[in-house]
Amino acid sequence: MITEDLLEQLAGYCDEFLVHAVDVEGKASGIEEELVRLLGSWGKIPVTYAGGVGNFDDLTKLRKLGKNRLNVTIGSALDLFGGTMSYEKVKEFCRE
């Protein structure tokens, strides 16, 4: 389980985190909101969140709950990998 204490302990050994929400990874069925809130509120080094993004509502929620502090990686939901989210539109969204 990820906690603020764990993030603090590990932050001294890296420049950024890539956090996979394994319970939702690859399902494109929604983000892990509690985890996103925690990561966004911590914000001491860059964090990239992965897992569950299936549409632009999820990206909007990630931006809001993560306090616009989180990067995101998307896999199976992208059209490049057979999903419904346009890679080009995701790039545009993330640049906003």
Could you give the 3-state DSSP secondary structure of residue 85?
strand
pLDDT grade for 86, boundaries at 50, 70 and 90: very high
- Stretch 69-94: mean pLDDT, rounded? 95
Please report the pLDDT score of residue 32 as a whole number. Answer: 96
The pLDDT tens digits for 24-79 are: 888 788 999 999 999 999 989 999 999 999 999 999 999 999 999 999 999 999 99
Q: Report the predicted TM-score, pTM, of the whole model to 2 decimal places.
A: 0.91
CATH class, domain 4-94, is alpha beta
Number of other residues whose CB lies within 10 A of the CB of residue 64:
12
Angle (deg, nearest 10), helices 33-42 and 4-11? 50
**pLDDT at residue number 29:** 84
Cβ(9)–Cβ(42) below 8 Å:
no
